[in-house]
Structure 1
Amino acid sequence: MATIIKRPAITGDIVHVASDRYGNILVIDDRKHRILSFDSVFEQSKIKRKMPHVPVHEYSRAMLLPVAFAEPVHVTLLGLGGGVMAHGLHHLLQDAQIHVVELRPMVLEVAREWFALPQSERLTVSIGDAGVAVEALPPASTEMILTDLYSADKMSPAQSQRQFIKACARALAPGGWLALNYHRMPEPDGNLIRELKRRFPCLLAFKSKTNNWVIYGCNRPFSPWGTPDTVLKNLESRLPIGWAKIMKRVTALSIDTLV
């Protein structure tokens, strides 16, 4: 599953409806975009129909930022949605293996049929609970974990649990990155922030225009401010999502960020 972006109402034509035990899955087209929704109010995923590998939502673009700091050979995505981030990473990282965990088999079917999710040996999707799956990952088995777990109208509580953060940290290789999408910034003195600080010497944050917060953690000390402009320009030529603009809005996660 993927995050939720609320609009007054999603405009466009419903071109496909599916359902499973979790609810409806709607595919909506407007003139330029294709949207995945579970209720016709919240946007779960959004792509440009002519460029399905380029994420539209700002938070989706921001989730990919750790690629500017380290080019992984293995990426784990928790939550598929329309496959926007998986498709973008598959396009961007030509030598990387990308593994996605998605709860709903029907979401995977829709992503493949309607959102151009690549069928590739480099991109695998497992059906299952992300919380269970991350616990089962071998230690140091992946260089990047991007987690975006949402149902129709709320974030999965797994993302705010200390055990989930601990499991992600254990699964990351040295120098690995975790990116989490939160619907609001966690409490500064809460268990989640304390666990993140315990596991990740480098913590960064990005606030989207829809008030989602992306929190990044690296398991080694790291300063992103020295990232060369040439790196961002190269990434932009490969996947045009505004890497430099995103980078300018990233801040170190501190008490000032949280209040």
Structure 2
Amino acid sequence: MGTIIKRPEIKGDIVHVASDPHGNILVIDDRKHRILSFDSVFEQSKILRASPNVPVHEYNRAMLLPIAFASPGRVTVLGLGGGVLAHGLFTLLPDSIIDVYELRRKVAEIAKDWFALPESERLRVHIADARLAVDQLPEASTDMILTDLYSADRMSPAQSQRQFIKACSRALSSTGWLVLNYHRMPEPDGNLLRELKRQFPLLLVFKSRTNNWVIYGRKQDFDPWSIDKSRLNALEERLPIGWRKLIKKLSRLVPAVTPSEP
């Protein structure tokens, strides 16, 4: 449903309020930005009002980095929030199908009405529990999965479960990418990181200025630092988020382990 970025108090005018069984949903405007919040303290999503397709938060921008290395035909987004990731992908990938799974119908409605989420046949929003939806995805049916599952005040525990990682890996194509946004770095010797190493020969990590950790897993290894600079220039023209600076902050997480490791 969107990452939480804590502020002492979100400044601006509340321009819309909605509620559902999960709680309140607030839309807040300041001079330049529009913010989605569930409690007026944590920012779930943030866009530039003049350019709603450009993500504001660095971690959101970082989650789009695999587009520098791949042009996926099918993309799956788990958690909509204000639609920042979905809108960015829609702009970057004009020939791709993007499926988004969002638990709260009112959040999806607000993303369209207040955050300029495009309405298109190739951007499909499904009202469903993303944790269950990923289990039902056909094997090798998507080329990229971006998961950003947060409630009002915490990350969904599903993102740190081995079964969730296995389900995402199974649903990815042979060269697919998994992109995970974590509120803290997983334990080096914990089950989560061990499962990620089992499933993905390439693991990269990005630490944002807000101390979010974005972890990237790819089903095949390659050298991400040999990218053609002209591709970065083309991406910057399409969506100006500072691609060169973002890639400089990428690092290889850990070497892969063999599937037989316990």
* Amino acid in structure 1 at the alignment position of 2:204: L
Aligned partners of 2:85, 2:131: CA distance in 1, in Å?
A: 19
Q: Which position in structure 2 is the counterpart of 1:107?
A: 107
Q: Which position in structure 1 is the counterpart of 2:260?
A: none
* Amino acid in structure 1 at the alignment position of 2:63: M
In the alignment, does 2:219 pair up with 1:216?
no
In the alignment, does 2:194 pair up with 1:194?
yes
TM-score (norm 1): 0.97
Question: Could you tell me how far 1:36 is from its partner in structure 2?
Answer: 0.2
Q: Which position in structure 2 is the counterpart of 1:233?
A: 233
Aligned partners of 2:140, 2:168: CA distance in 1, in Å?
A: 10
Identical aligned residues as a percent: 71
Partner secondary structure for residue 185 of structure 2: coil
Question: Could you tell me how far 1:33 is from its partner in structure 2?
Answer: 0.4
* Amino acid in structure 2 at the alignment position of 1:36: L
Structure 1 range deviating more: 227-236 or 93-102 = 227-236
Partner secondary structure for residue 134 of structure 1: helix
Cα offsets for 1:56-93 (capped at 9, x unmatched): 01100000000011110100000000001101111111
Unmatched tracts of structure 2, length 5 or more:
256-262
Aligned partners of 2:222, 2:102: CA distance in 1, in Å?
A: 30
* Amino acid in structure 2 at the alignment position of 1:19: S
Partner secondary structure for residue 52 of structure 2: strand
1:1-259 equivalences in 2 (<5 Å): 1-254=1-254
- After TM superposition, the runs of 4+ consecutive aligned structure 1 residues lying more than 6 A away are none
Aligned partners of 2:207, 2:7: CA distance in 1, in Å?
A: 18
Unmatched tracts of structure 1, length 5 or more:
none
Question: Could you tell me how far 1:230 is from its partner in structure 2?
Answer: 1.1
Cα offsets for 1:237-257 (capped at 9, x unmatched): 1000111111000000038xx
Question: Could you tell me how far 1:25 is from its partner in structure 2?
Answer: 0.2
* Amino acid in structure 2 at the alignment position of 1:40: S
Cα offsets for 1:115-166 (capped at 9, x unmatched): 0011100100111111110000001000000000000000000000000000
**Number of residue pairs matched?**
255
Partner secondary structure for residue 193 of structure 2: helix
Aligned partners of 2:20, 2:177: CA distance in 1, in Å?
A: 33
Aligned partners of 2:223, 2:179: CA distance in 1, in Å?
A: 16
C-alpha RMSD of the superposition: 0.7
